[in-house]
Amino acid sequence: MTNSNLPGFSRRALLGIFAATAVTAAPTFANAFAFNRGAGDVRRLKMYSGRTGERLDTIYWVDGDYIPEALTEINHFFRDWRNNRAHRIDTRTLDLMAAAHRLLRVDEPYMLLSGYRSPETNAMLRRNSRNVAQNSRHLIGQAADLRVRSRTVRQVAQAAIACSAGGVGMYSRSDFTHMDCGPVRSWGG
């Protein structure tokens, strides 16, 4: 193929297609508990939202570079579904999620329960639950509440904790794991 000006394909899109092929052919590393090794040379997120019915399967980082178009798609996917407001999602949270997912050794996507929360949504949730922080990292795009159907809350949390890259909360009664890019800490059960 000599024509590099293919309609509808940017250089980044072609890189993403190449990376998607590389992901399926790449070997996995047993006991890859180092944060960066857990993510690999390609970082990918596979998710769906039970709230909106949307699905996301995107490679957002290739060989040291974040892909702006993929991050825009992620920001939209993580939006506050109650009022459709979006916010920039911190890439450190995305990296933690990608590394933990890889350590879980599943092809199944994460279910996103909560990504970005607007101040109004967070206030409403606080009125209805004592487990919602007033200054939640969800308010600044630094947290996600996630579920993996084939894994327990504890298994998902242990994978995230192994990354030593942020906060990990276990909410077994509500069946989800919280991940954020704040200080390394864990809580719940």
The full set of domain ranges for the chain reads: 11-188
DSSP per residue, 1-16: ------TT--HHHHHH
Give 46 or 1, the one with higher predicted confidence.
Answer: 46
Whether residue 31 has pLDDT greater than 90: no
Q: What percent of the chain has pLDDT over 90?
A: 71
Mean pLDDT of 105-116: 96
Q: How far apart are CA 188 and CA 176, in angstroms?
A: 11
Q: How far apart are CA 175 and CA 47, in angstroms?
A: 16
**117-152 pLDDT, tens digit each:** 999 999 999 898 888 888 899 999 999 999 999 999
Half-sphere exposure of 184 (CA within 13 A, CB side): 9
- Do residues 38 and 99 make contact, with C-beta atoms less than 8 angstroms apart? yes
Q: How confident is the model at residue 40 (pLDDT cuts 50, 70, 90)?
A: low
Q: How far apart are CA 74 and CA 90, in angstroms?
A: 10
Q: How confident is the model at residue 98 (pLDDT cuts 50, 70, 90)?
A: very high
**What confidence score (pLDDT) does residue 132 get?**
83
The CA dihedral of 99, 104, 109, 111, to the nearest 10 degrees, is: -90
Q: How far apart are CA 93 and CA 85, in angstroms?
A: 19
Q: How far apart are CA 146 and CA 111, in angstroms?
A: 6
Q: How confident is the model at residue 6 (pLDDT cuts 50, 70, 90)?
A: very low
